[in-house]
Amino acid sequence: MLRRGKLIADAKVAEALYKMAIGYSHPETHIARQGGKVIKIEITKRYLPNTKACIFWLKNRQPKLWRDRIELKQQTNLNKFPPKEELDAMYEKALAEAARRNAKVLAERREFLQRTGIDHGKDASNS
C-alpha cells in the first residue's frame, strides 16, 4: 500500500514538472470589488514554460543528449608515476577526446531539436 502511494505521488510530481517545463493554463475565479459589490470574474491563468524545469526534465529523461559534463576514464598505474612527457600526452589525448565528445553531443542536440521541430531561436511566448 505504501509503495502504491509513493508511485502516485511520484507520478503527480512528474506531471507537475512536465507542465512547468512546457507551460500550462487553467481556469480560475478572480474575486474583485466593483462599485461596492463583490464580483466573480472567470479568467484563464497562464504560466510560461520554465527553463529550469525544462533543463531538469531533459537531463533526467535524456542524459546522453543533455548532460553537462562528459566523463572520461583513463587507466593509470599509480604505483609507478609516469614521466612528465607521458602525463602531458595523456592530458592532451583526454582533452581531444573531451572536445570530440562535446561536439558529438552538441550535434545530437541540434539534430534532436530539428527533428522535433523545436526552433530554439524563437521566443517561447510567441509560440
pLDDT tens-digit map of 46-60: 999 988 888 888 888
Long-range contacts of 110-115 (CB under 8 A, 24+ apart): 112/62, 112/65
Residues 90 and 31 both lie in one domain = no
Cα 47 from Cα 26, distance rounded (Å)? 9
Neighbours of 90 (CB within 10 A): 13
Contact 18, 119 (CB under 8 A): no
**pLDDT at position 56, please?**
86
Name the amino acid, one letter, at 61. Answer: R
Residue 114 has pLDDT above 60, yes or no: yes
Structural domain for 22, as ranges: 1-61
Q: State how far Cα 79 lies from the chain centre.
A: 41
Domain tally, the chain: 2
Residues 35 and 94 both lie in one domain = no
Residues 52 and 76 both lie in one domain = no
For cell 535524456, the residue is 62
Q: pLDDT for 62-111, tens place per residue?
A: 887 787 776 666 666 666 777 888 878 888 888 898 888 888 888 888 88
| Among candidate residues 14, 34, 61, the one where a domain is terminated | 61
Residues 50 and 72 both lie in one domain = no
Interacting residues of 53 by C-beta distance below 8 A, sequence separation 6+: 17, 20, 21
Residues 78 and 92 both lie in one domain = yes
| Among candidate residues 44, 61, 78, the one where a domain is terminated | 61
Cell numbers for 110, please give them. 541540434
Biggest CA–CA distance in the chain, Å, is 87
Residues 101 and 115 both lie in one domain = yes
Residues 55 and 73 both lie in one domain = no
Kindly report whether the global pTM for this prediction surpasses the value 0.85: no
